[in-house]
Amino acid sequence: MKLSEIIGVIEKWAPKKHAEDFDNVGLLVGDSDSEVGKGLITLDTTLEIIDEAISKDCNLIITFHPLIFNPIKKINSDDRINKIIIRAIKNNINIYCLHTNLDNNPRGVNYNILQILGMEKVDFIIPKINEDGSRIGMGMYGELKNGMNFEEFKILIKRNMKIDHFKFTKPCKKIIKKVGVLGGSGSFAIEHAIDLGLDCLITADLKYHDYFKADNKIILIDIGHYESEKYTKDLILKHLNEKIPKFAVTIAETNTNPVNYN
């Protein structure tokens, strides 16, 4: 089917205008008039992802993180991004990105995390109102059906998010009930989470001084950037399978997480 048809389905779900101003979403490499046989879903686009797409005869890569973020002044093989672009073009591979427009979606990245953690009564941490009156926003929060102590909550996070470890501030809450999540870098939401009276905020990429902002008012948990967003691939796959069942699309097997632990 034509790439433009696939893009139409994606952008009806996560409109480009809902992305943050700093972001770069949409068709980053390729031709919207091209015929697409198969798609590959990934969090990041690397040379290894391009090779996987080639090996699986996928001529569309749907990526969450933008491959091109800063302005490009030349296309050659001098740097990593250019090498990826060149290899994609040589192999007729299109690259489409949806990022903060899916973060802002009421049933997007953060809603998905809350569902995985078993939360109810969800709402936005930082809501925004569209021109048509609909609500979108960055970060979401929900409530556990039954409150639990922090030790129990740590077990829940590790089990449901399938992670072995994470960083956190002083467990200043005896019972965890109201929990916020913001996939990816979420330090900008700390004050908003405190104002909402959340017991905990799960996010990533917190710097040393960010942890002081907890100020014994909230528990901050940093589970890692890749770890917080890895289920986004399943979210995209599920939506495309529902809306375009005839379109062959699969999740990349290549692990693009650049961070290793010991």
Residue 130 has pLDDT above 90, yes or no: no
What's the rounded Cα separation, in Å, for the pair 96 and 63? 6
What local confidence, expressed as pLDDT, does residue 34 receive? Answer: 97
Residue 150 has pLDDT above 90, yes or no: yes
Judge if 3-102+230-251 and 104-223 fold alike in CATH terms: yes
What local confidence, expressed as pLDDT, does residue 131 receive? Answer: 82
pLDDT category, 178, cuts 50, 70, 90? Answer: very high
The pTM (predicted TM-score) of the whole model is 0.95
Residue 132 has pLDDT above 90, yes or no: no
Q: What is the domain partition of the chain in residue ranges?
A: 3-102+230-251, 104-223
What local confidence, expressed as pLDDT, does residue 105 receive? Answer: 97
Per-residue pLDDT tens digits for 62-84: 999 999 999 999 999 989 999 99
Instruction: Write a three-state SS string for the chain.
Output: CEHHHHHHHHHHHCCHHHCCCCCCCEEEECCCCCECCEEEEECCCCHHHHHHHHHCCCCEEEECCCCCCCCCCCCCCCCHHHHHHHHHHHCCCEEEECCHHHHCCCCCHHHHHHHHCCEEEEEEEEEEECCCCCEEEEEEEEEEEEEECHHHHHHHHHHHHCCCCCEECCCCCCCEEEEEEEEEECHHHHHHHHHCCCCEEEEECCCHHHHHHHCCCCEEEECCHHHHHCCHHHHHHHHHHHHCCCCEEEECCCCCCCCCCC
Residue 234 has pLDDT above 90, yes or no: yes
Per-residue pLDDT tens digits for 183-208: 999 999 999 999 999 999 999 999 99
Q: Looking at the domain covering 104-223, what would its CATH class be?
A: alpha beta
Domain with residues 3-102+230-251, CATH architecture? 3-Layer(aba) Sandwich (3.40)
